[in-house]
Amino acid sequence: MSDSDVLVHSQNLSPGQAGELVNLPRQKANWEWMSFFVRRLRPGDVYRAETKHEEAAFVLLGGTVRADWGKGAQLVGKRKNVFDGLPYALYLPAGNNVAFTAETLCEIAECRVPSQARLDPKLITPQDVASNLRGGGNVSRQIVDLMTPSFPADKLMVVEVYTPGGNWSSYPPHKHDVHDPPREVDLDEIYYYRMNQPGAFAFQHLYSGDYASERTVKTRDGDAVLVRSGFHPVVAGPGYDVYYLNFLAGSARVMAITEDSRHVWIRSTWKETDPRLPLVKA
pLDDT in tens, 162-203: 999 999 999 999 999 999 999 999 999 999 999 999 999 999
Q: What residue segments make up the domains of the chain, in order of their start?
A: 14-269
Per-residue pLDDT of 79-129, as tens digits, reads 999 999 999 999 999 999 999 999 999 999 999 999 999 999 999 999 999
> Would the pLDDT of 154 be above 90?
yes
pLDDT computed for residue 32 by the predictor: 86
Phi, psi of 26 (to 5 degrees): -65, -25
The neighbouring-strand residues paired with 224 are 8, 192
Enumerate residues 6+ apart whose C-beta is below 8 A from 44.
101, 102
Q: List residues bridging with 50 in a β-sheet.
A: 97
pLDDT for the residue 211: 65
Which pLDDT value is given to residue 93?
98
pTM over 0.95: yes
Q: Give me the pLDDT at residue 2, please.
A: 57
Per-residue pLDDT for 36 more than 60? yes
Worst-scoring range by mean pLDDT, 82-91, 211-220, 243-252? 211-220
What dihedral do alpha carbons 34, 242, 76, 14 form, nearest 10°? -90
Average pLDDT value for residue range 244-272: 96
3-state secondary structure 123-147: EECCCCCEEEEECCHHHCEEEEEEE
Spatial CA neighbour of 210 closest among 262, 264, 265: 262
CATH 1.10.10.60 fits 14-269, yes or no: no
Average pLDDT taken over every residue of the chain: 95
Sheet with 46-51: strands ordered across: 46-51, 96-102, 65-68, 74-76
